[in-house]
């Protein structure tokens, strides 16, 4: 056992191997068992905020396993210290996240299927599947009995024009194989008609773009004295910040125990921050398209889909990489090298003022931010997760959406109001991307409250004779149901997480403001099947009292679920949330009406949110940032 390991650090490769071995020797695992995930079983919060000494904390692993032979899901806890199985629990009637191995095996099963080959022959005159791509898509749940009793996929298929072509430009619209993932075989092939393949190639690869613009001149980022962060295991310190960088197969990148050293005092802000779920529902009701929705966390595993990042391409500058230590579904070690990138970026002006009467003017400070990022490929789409820490106490999450649109084929000359034409016979259906982030706040301790802040105008009258009056009104939210709410542009609505037990120098509770950015409402009807399973899209903001079993906005097992789990269910209890250990959940949606410029590969789109200290500090905490050496010919400093 390492003695200095932070209790919230993810499992090391050795710990994953040990956990797998304990499970394999437990008598519960056989040749038909898949390891869906093996991750740290996080210790109680008291070990961070309470009296438990960190060197007394056991390292435990939590595993989700699935037996294809019995269609049964089990959760296990193992003690790494005692090298034994602690618990083994059957979770009836659920389908855990599909594994990366199943993606590959499902594709092979379809390509080898005589029924699929026969359909291909009927439609395209060939049964050669060597150019066919098969993307696993969960069957979801539309009320059919098989969707609740079998482990199923309804893959989408594409036909490359040649072995390195972009296959997504040629969707096979009329053929939909249905796969039983337990038997790993095609149980039927559904045919909906014949659509000829789109006639034109659409490729983004460098080798396929013959006429390139002249190369841009080099831009070198150098840090001759090294980075300004320190790393010890997974604990990072930078510019008064400290945090633990976590990772798991389901959520991908997670941040833990975020603190700010304020004049020698380590002040807690967030206990845990993570993406708990996301769903991408499509808006075309046609027979081949209406089933398209993807729960990219609960169905596919955002961490399992993470990329190995490359210096100079994904990340520029002086990089510190962290690996992700996972397991294959058969219990073999799976390490994603460089899954997390951490580096510093210059972020323009931190603050500036010119006083025309003073000789040493202006005063300018450069802003430096710490970027901790990860990128996942979920078949056609890419999602980038970029956490930013700033010198003025801001914390930001920026999501980057790129990759390849999920496309459909139309008949020659046909158009669809449910999508944009992007090439002849090729259209991109309208869709939305909804993300849910779980922010387990601990502003100066665990007991916090949430205020909804609305800016309202005063009525004209004797108290407002000039008509200019408006003010911010804070409402402290008392229960879960009261907290469920939407953004409101009319009142510039924000939320503030405060600690009513800790006052700042001005006598107000210390707090952090939550500032939403781009967002959307769901466009599908509440009766749409995907919405039943994604109740977290019903409100932008949810607040719950902390419960360690409530981790995922759509529940623990959204894959093929019939819905009703997660935030919608929990918050019906209407539990008190005032001055208690609380969790703030934020749902944010990007409504994507595609355009020709999103093809063949999509320029990055951005969405996210910002956390800003609000009465947490006495004054601008970045006032003490020293000036940078000036680079102007006359030399000097930026003051
Ligand atoms: Ni999109």
Residue 444 above 60 pLDDT?
A: yes
Please compute, for residue 58, the number of CA atoms within 13 A of its CA located in the half-sphere on the CB side.
13
Q: Report residue 41 as tokens.
A: 């079983």
Residue whose C-alpha is closest to residue 550's, from 576, 585, 577, 580: 585
- 13-91 and 100-205 in the same fold: yes
3-state secondary structure 253-319: EEEEEEEEEECCEEEEEEEEEEEEEEEEEECCCCCCCCCCEECCCCCCCCCCCECCCCECCCECCCC
Per-residue pLDDT of 192-219, as tens digits, reads: 999 999 999 999 999 999 899 999 999 9
Task: List, in sequence order, every beta strand (DSSP E) within 20-151.
Answer: 33-41, 60-67, 72-79, 84-91, 132-135
Q: Tokens 């700042």 — which residue?
A: 504
E strands along 424-469, which residues?
Answer: 426-429, 431-441, 447-457
CATH class of 13-91: alpha beta
Contact 567, 468 (CB under 8 A): no
**Distance (Å, whole) CA 440 – CA 256:** 9
What is the C-alpha to C-alpha distance for residues 7 and 320, in angstroms, rounded to an integer? 21
**pLDDT tens-place string over residues 419-436:** 999 999 999 999 999 999
Does the pLDDT at position 530 exceed 50?
yes
Q: How far apart are CA 61 and CA 293, in angstroms?
A: 31
pTM: 0.96
CA 494 to centroid of ligand 1, rounded, Å: 26
Look up residue 600 and give its DSSP letter.
S
CA–CA separation, 149 and 123 (whole Å): 31
Task: Report phi then psi at 292, rounded to 5.
Answer: -75, 110
Q: 433 C-alpha to center of ligand 1: Å?
A: 6
Q: What is the pLDDT of residues 221-233, one digit of tens each?
A: 999 999 999 999 9
Cα–Cα distance for residue pair 572/612, rounded to 1 Å: 30
266-294 tens-digit pLDDT: 999 999 999 999 999 999 999 999 999 99
Helix or strand or coil: residue 582?
A: strand
- What's the mean pLDDT when you consider all of the chain? 95
Q: State in Å: Cα 69 to ligand 1 middle.
A: 37
| Spatial distance between the Cα atoms of 586 and 36, rounded to a whole number of angstroms | 27
Of 622, 584, 620, 571, nearest to 494 by C-alpha is 584
> Does pLDDT of 182 surpass 60?
yes
Distances (CA, A) of 255 to 5, 98, 373, 439: 16, 24, 11, 10
With contact defined as beta carbons under 8 Å apart, do 542 and 573 qualify? Answer: no
Q: Which residues contact 350 (CB under 8 A, 6 or more apart)?
A: 365, 366, 367, 368, 391, 392, 622, 625
pLDDT in tens, 25-46: 999 999 999 999 999 999 999 8
- In b/e form, how buried is each residue of 5-28, taking b as 16+ CB within 10 angstroms? bbbbbbbbeebbbbbbebbeeeee
What is the distance between the alpha carbons of residues 187 and 181, in angstroms, rounded to a whole number? 10
Instruction: Kindly state the average pLDDT of the residues 176-196.
Output: 98
Structure tokens at 205: 């690869």
Instruction: Compute how many other C-beta atoms are within 10 angstroms of the C-beta atom of residue 174.
Output: 20
> CA-CA distance, 186 to 180, in Å (whole number)?
6
What is the fold of 100-205? Nuclear Transport Factor 2; Chain: A, (3.10.450)
- With a pLDDT cut of 70, the percent of the chain lying above it is 97
- CA 300 to centroid of ligand 1, rounded, Å: 17
The catalytic residue positions are: 296, 381
* DSSP result, 311-369: BTTTB-SS-EEEEEEEE-TTS-EEEEEEEEEEEEEEEEEEEEE--TT-SS--EEEEEEE
**Do residues 146 and 152 lie in contact, with contact meaning Cβ atoms separated by under 8 Å?**
yes
**H/E element, 251:** none
CA atoms within 13 A of residue 51's CA, in its CB half-sphere? 0
Q: 442 alpha carbon to ligand 1 midpoint, in Å?
A: 34
Percent over 90 (pLDDT), the chain: 93
Q: Please tell me whether residue 52 adopts helix, strand or coil conformation.
A: coil
Question: Measured between alpha carbons, how far is 179 from 162 in angstroms, rounded to an integer?
Answer: 26
Instruction: Write down the domain spans for the chain.
Output: 13-91, 100-205, 232-404+431-592+601-613
Tell me which DSSP letter residue 551 carries.
Answer: -
Q: What was the pLDDT predicted at 133?
A: 98
pLDDT at 639 over 70: no
Tokens 């084929």 locate to 409
Ligand 1 center–CA 89 separation, angstroms? 38
Residue 559 DSSP symbol: T
Tell me, in angstroms, the distance from the centre of ligand 1 to residue 519's CA: 14
CATH number of 232-404+431-592+601-613: 2.70.98.20
């Amino acid at each position: 056992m390492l003695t200095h390991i932070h209790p919230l650090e993810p499992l090391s490769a050795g710990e994953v191997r040990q956990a797998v071995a304990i499970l394999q020797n437990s008598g519960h695992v056989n040749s038909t068992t898949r390891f869906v995930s093996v991750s740290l079983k996080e210790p109680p919060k008291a070990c961070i905020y309470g009296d438990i000494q960190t060197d007394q904390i056991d390292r435990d692993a939590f595993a989700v396993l699935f037996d294809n032979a019995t269609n049964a899901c089990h959760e296990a806890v193992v003690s790494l210290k005692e090298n034994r199985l602690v618990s083994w629990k059957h979770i009836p009637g659920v389908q855990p996240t599909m594994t990366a191995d199943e993606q590959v095996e499902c594709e092979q099963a379809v390509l080898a299927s005589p029924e699929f080959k026969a359909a291909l022959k009927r439609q395209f005159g060939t049964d050669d599947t060597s150019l066919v791509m098969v993307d696993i898509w969960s069957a979801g749940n539309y009320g059919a009995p098989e969707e609740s009793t079998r482990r199923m996929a309804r893959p989408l298929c594409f036909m490359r024009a040649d072995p390195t072509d972009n296959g997504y430009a040629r969707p096979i619209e009329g053929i939909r194989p249905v796969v039983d993932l337990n038997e790993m075989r095609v149980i039927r092939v559904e045919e909906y008609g014949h659509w000829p393949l789109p006639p034109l190639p659409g490729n983004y690869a460098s080798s396929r773009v013959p006429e390139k613009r002249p190369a841009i001149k080099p831009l070198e980022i150098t840090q001759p004295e090294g980075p300004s962060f320190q790393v010890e295991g997974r604990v990072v310190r930078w510019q008064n910040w400290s945090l633990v960088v976590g990772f798991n197969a389901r959520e991908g990148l997670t941040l833990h125990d975020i603190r700010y050293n304020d004049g020698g005092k380590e002040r807690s802000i967030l206990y845990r921050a993570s993406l708990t779920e996301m769903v991408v529902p499509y808006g075309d009701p046609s027979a081949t398209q209406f089933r398209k929705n993807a729960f990219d966390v609960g169905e596919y595993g955002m961490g399992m889909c993470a990329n190995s990042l490359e210096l100079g391409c994904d990340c520029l500058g002086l990089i510190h990489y962290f690996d992700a230590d996972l397991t294959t579904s058969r219990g073999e070690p799976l390490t994603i090298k460089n899954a997390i990138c951490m580096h510093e970026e210059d972020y323009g002006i931190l603050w500036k003022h010119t006083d025309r009467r003073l000789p040493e003017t202006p005063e300018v400070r450069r802003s430096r931010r710490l970027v901790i990022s990860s990128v996942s490929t979920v078949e056609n789409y890419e999602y980038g997760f970029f956490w930013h820490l700033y010198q003025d106490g801001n914390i930001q999450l920026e999501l980057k959406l790129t990759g390849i649109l999920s496309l459909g084929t139309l008949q020659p000359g046909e158009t669809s109001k449910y999508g944009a034409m992007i090439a002849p016979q090729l259209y991109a259906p309208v869709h939305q991307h909804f993300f849910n982030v779980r922010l387990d706040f601990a502003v100066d301790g665990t007991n916090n409250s949430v205020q909804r802040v609305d800016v309202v105008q005063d009525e004209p009258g004797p108290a407002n004779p000039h008509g200019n009056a408006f003010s911010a009104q804070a409402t402290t939210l008392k229960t879960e149901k009261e907290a469920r709410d939407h953004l409101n542009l009319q009142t510039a609505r924000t939320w503030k997480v405060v600690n009513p037990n800790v006052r700042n120098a001005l006598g107000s509770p210390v707090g952090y403001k939550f500032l939403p950015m781009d967002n959307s409402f769901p466009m599908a009807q509440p009766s749409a099947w995907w919405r039943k399973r994604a109740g977290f899209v019903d409100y932008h903001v949810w607040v719950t009292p902390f419960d360690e079993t409530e981790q995922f906005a759509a529940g623990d097992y959204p894959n093929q679920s019939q819905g009703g789990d997660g935030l919608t269910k929990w918050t019906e209890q209407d539990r008190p949330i005032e001055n208690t250990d609380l969790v703030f959940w934020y749902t944010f949606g990007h409504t994507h009406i595609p355009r020709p410029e999103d093809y063949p590969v999509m320029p990055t789109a951005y969405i996210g949110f910002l956390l800003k200290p609000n009465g947490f500090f006495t004054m601008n905490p970045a006032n003490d940032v020293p000036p940078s050496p000036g680079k102007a010919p006359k030399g000097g400093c930026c003051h």
